Copies of this chain bind each other. A is one copy, B any other.
Amino acid sequence: MISPDIQRQVISWRRDFHQHPELGFLEYRTAARVAAELTRLRGCTVKVGSEVMRPAMVLDSPAPDVHAQARREALANGADAYWVERFADGLTGVVAEWTFARPGPVVAFRFDLDALPIDEPSDAAHAPYREGFSAKYSGRMHACGHDAHTAMGLGLATALAQSSDDWCGTVRLIFQPAEEGCRGAKSMVAAGVVDDVDWLICSHLGVATKRLGQVACGTTGMLATSKFAARFSGRAAHAAVEPELGRNALLAASTAALQLHALPRHGAGESRVNAGQLISGTATNVIASHAVLRFEVRGETTDINRYMAEAAQRVVRSAAAMYDVSVEIEVLAEALGVRCDPEMIALVRQAAMATGGIDEIFDTLPDTGSDDATLLMDAVQARGGRATYLLVGTSMIAGHHRDQFDLDEASMSLGIDLFLNILRRTTHLVSG
């Protein structure tokens, strides 16, 4: 069990992060604090920015002026300029690593850093407001618990550093930006942060484990997803005088939106498609020269999602061809179906049974969301490693992504205890 000191610190970190919520790829202050805290720890190597993220694989990062504004805000709110500089252009990932004296496996944990574009309520019924640590920025909120995830990562790091003689092999803590929208993991996978991982533990507070003491050793049912922006470029023309000169981007995008929803579905399992945003045109008498269509597909499995994604892109390109307009399709986000290894589930079960305070253990529970931790898991599994996505129970006032969301801070320490117990067993399995 981690020390009361660490327990207090974890709560303190969490509340600091909660007060300073930052959106995906803009976590300058959060990541700077993470890096600064890790740097203080014994034996810890810290890598950030382009060391842990391949810039070309970053998905759907905000515009430069948004980054510039976010950096100014981070600095104004106490972020260390040294670190902010190293996260240039939104490469806000941080990886901490210990290589211990005794040989052993490579075990990695993944934590996510970003907040949501939600207004936090100023309401005495809402604990963070009542207790004075609600978001200082309007329009943003940690309504998915990533503040707690990040604090747990720092707590785990602290505990590891304080007991480094106990461990063997390599332990790596991956702090990922932009989990919301499934954007941050891809560039970290591309940078190789899990290339040598034997055991990967991804986790989430809450979700299907809705009270303190419950744990699910794995997750099922997370939908694989791909999100896209299609940018159509045609040619404007006066709609009454020379309509034949126009190449109608609005109709190309409208056709694509409609036809995306008409995609034949896969018989092997559930799939989804949604054209969520369409912006096109200027005036009623001008044939619209440009359109942007943002859409997503999902699938019960990675294969079904891939089928939908390929069909969707064919539809978009054909709609453009139909109207003689060009189209660029940008990948905005990517997550895979979840597949937790049975060996890992069994190992987590043993660790959970050994963890005080855990009183109900599920092998797996279903989660209908999407998380790009699945990209990390898939990369590990593709090389023969094992991975799971476990759930640590917490009571919640309201579900994730709602503005009344809050969690039981006691779940953080319990989660760290579980992580340490998992670590003991992965070590044991290999070296013991």
Contact = CB atoms under 8 A, between A and B. Distances in A.
A426 B275 CA distance: 54
- Give the number of copies in the complex: 4
Contact of A281 (B267, B270, B294): B294
Contacts of A258: 251, 254-255, 258-259, 262
B307 A318 contact: no
A368 interface: yes
Interface string A271-294: 011111111111111111001001
A239 B276 contact: yes
A125 interface: no
A270 B271 CA distance: 9
Interface in A214-268: 223, 225, 227-228, 238-246, 248, 250-251, 253-255, 257-259, 261-268
A100 B244 CA distance: 51
A144 interface: no
A323 to B, nearest CB: 8
A166 to B, nearest CB: 42
A285 B274 contact: yes
A219 to B, nearest CB: 16
A266 B243 contact: yes
A89 to B, nearest CB: 23
A243 B265 contact: yes
A246 B265 CA distance: 10
A281 B287 contact: no
B287 A276 contact: yes
A11 B248 CA distance: 42
B296 A285 contact: yes
Contact of A240 (B283, B284, B368): B368
A331 to B, nearest CB: 11
A232 to B, nearest CB: 12
Contacts of A91: none
Given A294-B283, A332-B284, A240 B254 contact: no
> Which residue of A278, A285, A296 has the most chain B CB atoms within 10 A of its CB atom?
A285
Interface string A301-314: 00000010000001
29 contacts: A239-B272, A239-B273, A239-B274, A239-B276, A240-B272, A242-B267, A243-B265, A243-B267, A244-B268, A250-B277, A251-B261, A254-B254, A254-B255, A254-B258, A254-B275, A261-B263, A265-B265, A276-B283, A276-B285, A276-B286, A276-B287, A277-B282, A277-B283, A278-B279, A279-B280, A281-B294, A284-B295, A314-B321, A318-B319
